[in-house]
Every structure is written in C-alpha cells, then in structure tokens.
C-alpha cells in the first residue's frame, strides 16, 4: 500500500500590492483600524483583466511541478479548489488541464472555500493510497478583488481578502512519511453566516435583469465576524487535536502549524491555546490577506522555501471557513 507525500510546492501572486493606506482612499478606514482587527498590512489585488483564477493556478502549478522534479505528463489527476472560478461552468480544473497542455486526465473542482485545499489534500491522499493515481496536482486559487464592496459599507469584509494561488504535487511513496491523516467536517446550519447569496438559481437571469434595488448587498460577501471568530477558534482546536490523537501525537510534537490565514488574531489565539512558540507557527496574512483556498498552499510553500520545514518534521495544517467547513492534515515531512 502506498502512502502519499507532498513532492512539490509552488505559488503565484499578482504583482499589484494594495496597502491599508491605499484602502483608506476608497473607504473610511485606516492602517490602524485594519491592523488591530485583522493583522493585515497589505494584500494583492489583480489589476490585469487577462489574469484569471485558472491562469494564476496554472502559474502556481508550473512552479510546483518543477519543484517536484516530475514531468508534467506524469500528472494523472487534478483537484482545483476555488470559490471564484473563471466561469459559472465549466470548472477551473479543466481550464488548468488545458493551460498545462497535459493529457486528458480527470479534473475535479471543489467548492469548500477556506477549507478547500485541506479537502483537496484529503481526496488526493485517499486516491493515492487506494492505488488509483500516482501524481495528483492539488490547487487553490482565488480572485476576490473583483467581487468586493470597496466602499465604507463593505469595509469589514473587503479589507480582509486578497488574490493568489498555491499548488502542491502529491505523489505516491513507499516511505512511512507523508500525509499521516486528514479530518474533514461541516455544519451547514450556519451557511448564511459567511456567504455570497446572489446570483443563485433561485435568483437567476430574469430576476437579475428585473432587479431595481441598487442597494442590494447580497451580491457581496457577508460575514458575521464575531460569530465566525467564536466558531473558528473552537473548531480549529478540535480538529487539530483530532488529527494529533489519530496519529498518536501530542501538541509538543508539532514542528510547524500552518492554519488557514483568515485573521491573525485567530492564529494567535490558537497558538496561545496550544502553547506553541513563534517558531512553531507560520503566518503570512500580514502580506497577503485572506486568500481563501489559496492561503494554506501559499503559506506552506513560503515556509518550505524559507527552510522552516525539514525532513522528519511534523507539519499540521488546519482550516475553517464558509459552510461552515473545517479540516486538518497531519504530515510527517
């Protein structure tokens, strides 16, 4: 029986940097206001109409494939996670396959928002352990900037989100290192607490055309911030310990914890609850904001490229977000 291991990593970010001071020119906010509430100092927003979600995913994937040392023709499955696809349909996975100019492999699209990469990693892990595939490309890519309410009305959400993409090549290995376990959860009763409600099949083309309420905010992301925060810190801790216990590990065994980069205050709260040192936790939300499905692969790649992960380390990934969905992955590097 094979194990699965992350063999290559890569990420891509738009060149356009948007600082907190830049946002103060668009809405009633300030660097102090944003930093105190989120820890974010800047983010990347696409300002090139030709740069799409699938294209950013392609750039991140090309870097991950090079890092893996395999030929792109050896990729035999694609898992693409995003809440901001190029089109309503088809999904971005097939566009990525086309962009990479690889054989007609299966392409699966995931709509699990902030937890999307963890869900994708879990699916890849199961496929490889079953022997169905040997090299799976797992991608998270997001362009939020085009769908944000960049006014004072929407500032509590719009200051948080950034654009970016991250990718991992997950490959079969006979080693006993690699992905030790993954754990996935959902709680749909809170779906509307963090959501974009329209457009929807219940509010489709004819109703959109007839829409007369120019102040309708249901086309923009809505987040019940305090409620999401309270749920996030509980679920993060639960799912991290679920993974550790399953693998017969303790919190003291964690070499590096990388949580979904939702809010620096959440990450710091979890760090304190687990009594981890600064060297055991990696955050980059300060530079990139919340990039949803892309945040964990971007952070994982940065940590890896910065030599913060070495062979034999226990790396813990955890995410919580819209759905509500949450999950964790325990990896022996």
pLDDT digits (tens, 9 = 90+) for 130-146: 999 999 999 999 999 99
Q: What angle do CA 77, 82, 88 make, to 5 degrees?
A: 100
Check the CA dihedral 122-330-140-169 and report its sign: negative
User: Has residue 203 got a pLDDT over 90?
Assistant: no
Average pLDDT value for the chain = 96
User: Has residue 204 got a pLDDT over 90?
Assistant: no
| 18 shares a domain with 163 | yes
> Among 176, 192, 209, which residue terminates a domain?
176
User: Has residue 208 got a pLDDT over 90?
Assistant: no
For 276-306, how does the pLDDT look when each residue is reduced to its tens digit (9 = 90+)?
999 999 999 999 999 999 999 999 999 999 9
- What's residue 166's pLDDT? 98
> Among 118, 152, 176, which residue terminates a domain?
176
Closest by CA to 317, choosing from 236, 262, 250, is 236
For 18-68, how does the pLDDT look when each residue is reduced to its tens digit (9 = 90+)?
999 999 999 999 999 999 999 999 999 999 999 999 999 999 999 999 999
Closest by CA to 138, choosing from 93, 174, 105, 94, is 93
- What's residue 214's pLDDT? 76
| 137 shares a domain with 106 | yes
Candidate from 216-220, 256-260, 293-297 with smallest mean pLDDT: 216-220
Return d(Cα 151, Cα 301) in angstroms, integer.
Answer: 33
Does residue 176 or residue 166 have the better pLDDT? 166
Strand ranges (E), 187-306? 194-195, 222-223, 256-259
Residue 176 per-residue DSSP state:
S
Residue 97 is encoded by which pair of tokens? 């396959």
213 is catalytic: no
For 85-122, how does the pLDDT look when each residue is reduced to its tens digit (9 = 90+)?
999 999 999 999 999 999 999 999 999 999 999 999 99
Return d(Cα 110, Cα 116) in angstroms, integer.
Answer: 6
Q: Which 3 state secondary structure label does DSSP give 195?
A: strand
260 is catalytic: yes
Spatial strand order of the sheet with 256-259 comes to 178-186, 325-332, 314-321, 256-259
Q: Which 3 state secondary structure label does DSSP give 89?
A: coil
Instruction: Find the Cα–Cα–Cα–Cα dihedral 102, 107, 110, 116, rounded to 10°.
Output: -40
CATH number of the domain enclosing 141: 3.40.47.10
- Count the domains in the chain: 2
- What's residue 107's pLDDT? 98
| 132 shares a domain with 189 | no
| 20 shares a domain with 49 | yes
What residues make up the domain containing 273? 180-332
Of the residues 114, 183, 231, 283, only one is catalytic, namely 114
- What's residue 19's pLDDT? 98
- What's residue 302's pLDDT? 98
- What's residue 217's pLDDT? 85
Candidate from 96-110, 178-192, 209-223 with smallest mean pLDDT: 209-223
- What's residue 216's pLDDT? 84
Q: What angle do CA 55, 162, 72 make, to 5 degrees?
A: 30
DSSP 71-87: -GGG--EEEEE-SS-SS
| 209 shares a domain with 161 | no
- What's residue 201's pLDDT? 85
Strand ranges (E), the chain? 3-12, 17-19, 42-44, 77-81, 106-110, 135-142, 164-173, 178-186, 194-195, 222-223, 256-259, 314-321, 325-332
CA 94, chain centre distance (Å):
19
Q: Report the 10 Å Cβ neighbour count for 189.
A: 8
| 304 shares a domain with 197 | yes
Of the residues 135, 144, 260, 283, only one is catalytic, namely 260
Check the CA dihedral 81-87-88-89 and report its sign: negative
- What's residue 280's pLDDT? 98
| 314 shares a domain with 241 | yes
Return d(Cα 295, Cα 30) in angstroms, integer.
Answer: 24
Asked whether the whole model's pTM tops 0.85, one would answer yes
| 145 shares a domain with 48 | yes
| 214 shares a domain with 192 | yes
| 216 shares a domain with 156 | no
- What's residue 141's pLDDT? 98
Residue 191 is encoded by which pair of tokens? 């779906």
- What's residue 184's pLDDT? 98
Q: Which residue in the block uniquely carries the two structure tokens 């900037």?
A: 145
- What's residue 206's pLDDT? 85
> Among 114, 143, 176, which residue terminates a domain?
176
| 204 shares a domain with 321 | yes
Residue 331, classified by CB atoms within 10 Å of its CB into exposed (0-12), middle (13-18) or buried (19+), is buried
Per the CB < 8 A criterion, the answer to whether 260 and 318 are in contact is yes
Residue 199's pLDDT band, with cuts at 50, 70 and 90, is confident
Return d(Cα 122, Cα 300) in angstroms, integer.
Answer: 16
Maximum pairwise Cα distance, the chain: 61
Return d(Cα 260, Cα 300) in angstroms, integer.
Answer: 10
| 188 shares a domain with 121 | no
User: Has residue 212 got a pLDDT over 80?
Assistant: no
User: Has residue 229 got a pLDDT over 90?
Assistant: yes
183 is catalytic: no
């Amino acid at each position: 029986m094979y194990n699965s291991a992350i063999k290559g990593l890569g990420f891509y970010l738009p060149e356009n940097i948007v600082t907190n001071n830049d946002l103060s020119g668009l809405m009633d906010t300030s660097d102090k206001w944003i930093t105190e509430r989120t820890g974010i100092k800047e983010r990347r927003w696409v300002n090139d109409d030709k740069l799409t979600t699938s294209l950013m995913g392609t750039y991140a994937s090309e870097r991950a494939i090079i890092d893996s040392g395999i030929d792109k023709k050896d990729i035999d499955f694609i898992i693409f996670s995003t809440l901001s696809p190029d089109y309503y349909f088809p999904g971005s996975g097939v566009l990525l396959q086309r962009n990479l100019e690889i054989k007609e492999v299966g392409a699966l699209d995931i709509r699990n928002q902030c937890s999307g990469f963890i869900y994708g990693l879990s699916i890849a892990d199961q496929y490889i352990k079953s022997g169905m595939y040997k090299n799976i490309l797992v991608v998270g890519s997001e362009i939020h900037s085009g769908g944000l309410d960049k006014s004072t009305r929407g500032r509590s959400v719009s200051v948080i989100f950034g654009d970016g993409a991250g990718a991992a090549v997950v490959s079969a290995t006979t080693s006993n290192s690699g992905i030790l376990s993954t754990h996935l959860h959902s709680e749909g009763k809170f779906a509307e607490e963090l959501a974009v409600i329209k457009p929807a099949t219940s509010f489709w083309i004819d109703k959109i055309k007839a829409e007369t309420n120019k102040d309708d905010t249901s086309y923009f992301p809505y987040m019940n911030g305090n409620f999401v925060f309270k749920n996030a810190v509980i679920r993060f801790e639960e799912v991290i310990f679920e993974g550790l216990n399953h693998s017969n590990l303790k919190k003291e065994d964690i070499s590096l914890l990388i949580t979904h980069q939702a809010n620096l205050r959440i990450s710091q709260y979890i760090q304190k609850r687990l009594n981890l040192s600064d060297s055991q936790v990696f955050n980059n939300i300060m530079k990139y904001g919340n990039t949803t499905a892309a945040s964990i692969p971007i952070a994982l790649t940065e940590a890896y490229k910065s030599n913060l992960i070495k062979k034999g380390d226990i790396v813990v990934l955890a995410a919580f977000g819209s759905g509500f969905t949450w999950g964790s992955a325990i990896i022996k590097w």
